[in-house]
């Protein structure tokens, strides 16, 4: 992927934050999702949001305007950003700047970002978490648990068409992400422009309603990925293409490695975007300096309330005192994510769940995209040619941030990355 960041967005943090907050996600009307609830083999449920080939999306939107041509802003075809993102973050401090107590940035920009792109998490349990407005509450309800307008609409519409024959793009979200994440809407719009359907399966507890089982989700859950993909395979006759964002990408790559050549019978190709393929390295990165100051607190403000809901469902599931005392994602994973999902502790979890040691086993067309200035994925931890099988293509542009890749003149758009990734996947058909 040939990517050059706009001159007015220097540095990984700005490219990450601005993309989530202010860049345009689509060219026409916003994708409208319809929801289907799947019962899981263990008596729980997951919610899947679908976007079909919407006849309302003009086919003329199938390609991006030339670089430098601005996207129309404020017209009737664009959903106001204020509907989902705070408008109080009009200006961002320079990268690395500290924030005085009482300023809204740490609670607004970071929380929205964490929520919106949600792959920021320290690979602690998963590198991406919060969605609507991370960590903030409305009426006493954690924002990450509130349903977006599109999710509310989705809940009232019928399920997917089992006879679908066009390609289906499956988007696995990041930490605390959902179909309302900026990248999910961007990928859905790009899929529609190609005449494809798109689906966003939510990991446990991420669709706006807490799940039932004594578990949540984690970055290495390739068994859950396998069950979801095979369910899609059973209900869709067309080609399946899967992309995972941050946490979702690590889990998807773990699945690709575990499935080997047999995976070709399920999907035509897979891609990971800004995924922490070395969870320990990413977990350490997000736990220090600017990342800990801004993002760790945002994640914990979202993750702790959900963990408390889980404890209310299953008394005695974990030590309440240790959870409340957790100040880092490492601590949180030690008390919650690791033990609930069969790991001894955080170190065991991050080691066993990481996809990087398994990339050489991938035997289907695959892409791993990582910006080299990703605030949460240290460049030294990125896979090299020696780590990858011949089926895995590595894209590592110098810039882009974490699931950012904003492009174009102010205020920018985020379609360049989804366009490039979808083009790679399409070439495998």
Among all residues, which ones are annotated catalytic?
246, 374, 402
Cβ atoms of residues 133 and 206 within 8 Å? no
Q: CA 230, CA 153: separation in Å to the nearest integer?
A: 26
Instruction: Find where tokens 């204020």 sit.
Output: 82
Q: Which of 405, 103, 388 is nearest to 257 (CA)?
A: 388
Phi, psi of 90 (to 5 degrees): -60, -35
Cβ atoms of residues 134 and 298 within 8 Å? yes
Q: CA 306, CA 94: separation in Å to the nearest integer?
A: 32
Instruction: Find where tokens 């309440």 sit.
Output: 320
Question: Which residues, at least 6 apart from 9, have a Cβ–Cβ distance to it below 8 Å?
Answer: 15, 18, 406, 412
Cβ atoms of residues 214 and 42 within 8 Å? no
Q: CA 129, CA 134: separation in Å to the nearest integer?
A: 8
The total number of residues written for the chain in this structure:
429
Cβ atoms of residues 276 and 126 within 8 Å? no
Element (H, E) at 50: strand 45-51
């Amino acid at each position: 992927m040939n990517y050059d960041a706009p001159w007015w967005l220097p540095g990984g943090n700005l490219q990450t934050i601005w993309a989530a907050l202010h860049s345009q996600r689509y060219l026409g009307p916003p994708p409208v999702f319809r929801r289907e609830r799947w019962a899981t083999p263990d008596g729980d449920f997951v919610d899947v949001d679908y976007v079909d080939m919407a006849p309302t999306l003009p086919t003329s939107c199938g390609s991006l305007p030339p670089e430098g041509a601005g996207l129309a802003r404020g017209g009737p075809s664009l959903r106001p950003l204020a509907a989902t993102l705070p408008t109080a973050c009009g200006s961002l401090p320079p990268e690395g700047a500290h924030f005085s107590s009482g300023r809204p940035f740490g609670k607004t920009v970071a929380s929205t970002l964490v929520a919106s792109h949600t792959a920021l998490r320290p690979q602690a349990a998963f590198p991406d978490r919060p969605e609507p407005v991370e960590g903030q509450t409305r009426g006493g309800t954690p924002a990450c648990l509130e349903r977006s307008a599109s999710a509310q609409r989705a809940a009232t519409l019928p399920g997917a068409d089992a006879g679908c024959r066009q390609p289906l793009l499956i988007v696995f979200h990041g930490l605390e992400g959902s179909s309302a994440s900026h990248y999910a809407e961007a990928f859905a719009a790009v899929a529609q422009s190609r005449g494809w359907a798109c689906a966003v399966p939510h990991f446990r507890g991420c669709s706006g309603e807490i799940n039932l089982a004594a578990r949540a989700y984690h970055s290495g859950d390739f068994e859950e990925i396998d069950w979801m993909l095979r369910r899609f395979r059973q209900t869709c006759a067309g080609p399946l293409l899967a992309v995972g964002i941050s946490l979702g990408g690590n889990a998807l790559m773990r699945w690709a490695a575990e499935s080997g050549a047999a995976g070709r019978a399920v999907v035509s190709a897979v891609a990971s975007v800004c995924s922490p393929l070395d969870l320990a390295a990413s977990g350490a990165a997000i736990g220090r300096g600017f990342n800990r100051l801004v993002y760790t607190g945002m994640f914990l403000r979202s993750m702790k309330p959900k963990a408390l809901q889980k404890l209310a469902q299953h008394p005695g599931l974990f030590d309440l005192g240790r959870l409340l005392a957790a100040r880092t994602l490492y601590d949180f994973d030690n008390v919650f994510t690791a033990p609930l999902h069969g790991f001894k502790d955080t170190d065991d979890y991050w080691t066993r769940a990481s996809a990087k040691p398994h990339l050489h086993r991938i035997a289907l067309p695959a892409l791993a995209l990582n910006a080299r200035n990703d605030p949460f994925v240290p460049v030294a931890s990125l896979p090299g040619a020696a780590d990858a099988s011949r089926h895995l293509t590595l894209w590592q542009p110098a810039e882009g941030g974490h699931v950012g890749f904003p492009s174009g003149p102010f205020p920018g758009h985020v379609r360049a990355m989804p366009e490039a990734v979808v083009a790679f996947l399409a070439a495998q058909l």
